Amino acid sequence: MLASDRQGASRVQALDLLRLIAVAAVVLYHYGFWGPSSHDVPRVALPWMASFAQYGFLGVPVFFIISGFVIAYSAEGRTATGFAIARFSRIYPTFLFCMTLTFLAILTLGPPHFDTSFAQWCANLFVAAPALGHSYMDGAYWSLVIELSFYAWVAVLMAAKVFPRRLDHIILIWLGITFANELTIDAPLFEKLFLADDSGFFAVGLVIYEFFRGRRDPKLYAVLALSVGTAVFQSLHKLIRLSPHTGGTFDHAVVVAICLASIAIIFAATRLRRVPLPAGLVVAIGGLTYPLYLLHMQLGYVFLMRFSSTDAVWAVSLIISGLVLLSWIVWRFIERPAHRWAKDALMAQAIRRGLVVTVARIPEATAIERSPA
């Protein structure tokens, strides 16, 4: 069997399509409801979409669920060092390019609606720019910090030889800490350290991977129920902060329905090994979602506010189409070679320093390995 055939056989193709749906929901949210007002822009791009676009924020938890599944898959057969190198080389080069591109666009085209500085760019090199006293170059980066924190915890647990062997215990302890914090002191430090606002979504993804591997036992069903319940709770808990911040009125029943439907769809997607689309197209769709997520908000609004016509629908359509094309170009010509170069360079350094970075790999694990952020 050719390598490309093996990749197509082992890839969970439906997840690539779900990534596109998730990022489309986030784009809808930022252009139809929340994005402009968050930056004091005097108008919403597509205000007539606000009543349903406001639920697009749930696209981010979908990414977290997929991330839980994908990270459990890609951790199989790796050491902690190998896992960390694979994640860094997948995430950071593309982030650096997109962040810098956004910086240059804001610097040259942003005023009077947006501005930036070299100091902000430097702070964003560390991703978590607010920790250094500066704002994110793009407000969407907050979820990338959550993703990286999740990866860091997985690497630590892998180094401790408990991930994924003790996955049930990890999830139970994690969710216990989540509820202990959320229902008592609600300390920001615990929230950030233990991802207490998003742990349920990652846990659902981890459990779905256990089902994907063929595991079936009462304990796993119980952990799944607890994880789903936590995810639903966290979806509703987010509204406590989101409603006052955005001025939106959210229907709790709709939020719960979307959350449960998303989990069910992702679970079903992992049971499908192929979709009726060309494999290359599916790979490209999955590939462009990460740069599109990084570029769609701030960069898109720079162009919208600078060049938009009186017809906002056409302006948004042209801008989003351009960003999709740009995202494909970034994936095809920047992300893929940069990922290979960074991974090879870091692996060589790790080997040179005597770190154990490779063990017997499950042959198909690399085929699913794509950032869901």
Q: Between vectors from CA 64 to CA 58 and to CA 66, what angle results, nearest 5°?
A: 110
pLDDT at 353 (0 to 100): 84
Is the pLDDT at 2 greater than 60, yes or no? no
Q: Between vectors from CA 197 to CA 73 and to CA 36, what angle results, nearest 5°?
A: 105
Band of residue 138 on the pLDDT scale cut at 50, 70, 90: very high
Q: What is the 3-state secondary structure (H, E, C) of the chain?
A: CCHHHHHHHHCCHHHHHHHHHHHHHHHHHHHHCCHHHHCCCCCCCCHHHHHHHHHHHHHHHHHHHHHHHHHHHHHCCCCHHHHHHHHHHHHHHHHHHHHHHHHHHHHHHCCCCCCCCHHHHHHHCCCCHHHHCCCCCCHHHHHHHHHHHHHHHHHHHHHCCCCCCCHHHHHHHHHHHHHHHHCCCCCHHHHHHCCCCCHHHHHHHHHHHHHHCCCCCHHHHHHHHHHHHHHHHHHHHHHHHHHHHHCCCCCHHHHHHHHHHHHHHHHHHCCCCCCCCCHHHHHHHHHHHHHHHHHCCHHHHHHHHHHCCCCHHHHHHHHHHHHHHHHHHHHHHHHHHHHHHHHHHHHHHHHHCCCCCCCCCCCCHHHHCCCCC
C-alpha separations of 225 from 128, 166, 171, 212, 220 in Å: 33, 18, 12, 16, 9
Do 269 and 12 form a contact (C-beta atoms < 8 A)?
Answer: yes
**Top-confidence range, 302-316, 331-345, 356-370:** 331-345
**Lowest mean pLDDT: which of 161-170, 173-182, 364-373?**
364-373
C-alpha separations of 112 from 11, 42, 101, 309, 334 in Å: 46, 12, 19, 17, 31
Is the pLDDT at 9 greater than 80, yes or no? no
Pick from 339, 211, 273: nearest CA to 7 = 273
Band of residue 356 on the pLDDT scale cut at 50, 70, 90: low
Average pLDDT over residues 288-305: 94
Band of residue 48 on the pLDDT scale cut at 50, 70, 90: confident
Residue written as token pair 């822009």: 41
pLDDT at 41 (0 to 100): 52
Average pLDDT over residues 101-123: 94
Band of residue 8 on the pLDDT scale cut at 50, 70, 90: very low
Is the pLDDT at 82 greater than 60, yes or no? yes
What is the rounded distance in angstroms from the CA atom of residue 173 to the CA atom of residue 37? 39
Average pLDDT over residues 148-176: 96
pTM for the whole structure: 0.91
Is the pLDDT at 147 greater than 70, yes or no? yes
Is the pLDDT at 186 greater than 90, yes or no? no
pLDDT at 360 (0 to 100): 41
% residues pLDDT > 90 (the chain): 71
Average pLDDT, the chain: 88
pLDDT at 14 (0 to 100): 95
Average pLDDT over residues 75-92: 93
pLDDT tens for 213-270 read 999 999 999 999 999 999 999 999 999 888 877 777 899 999 999 999 999 999 999 9
pLDDT at 6 (0 to 100): 36
Is the pLDDT at 16 greater than 80, yes or no? yes
Do 185 and 202 form a contact (C-beta atoms < 8 A)?
Answer: no
**Top-confidence range, 34-38, 62-66, 110-114:** 62-66
pLDDT at 7 (0 to 100): 41
**Lowest mean pLDDT: which of 110-114, 202-206, 290-294?**
110-114
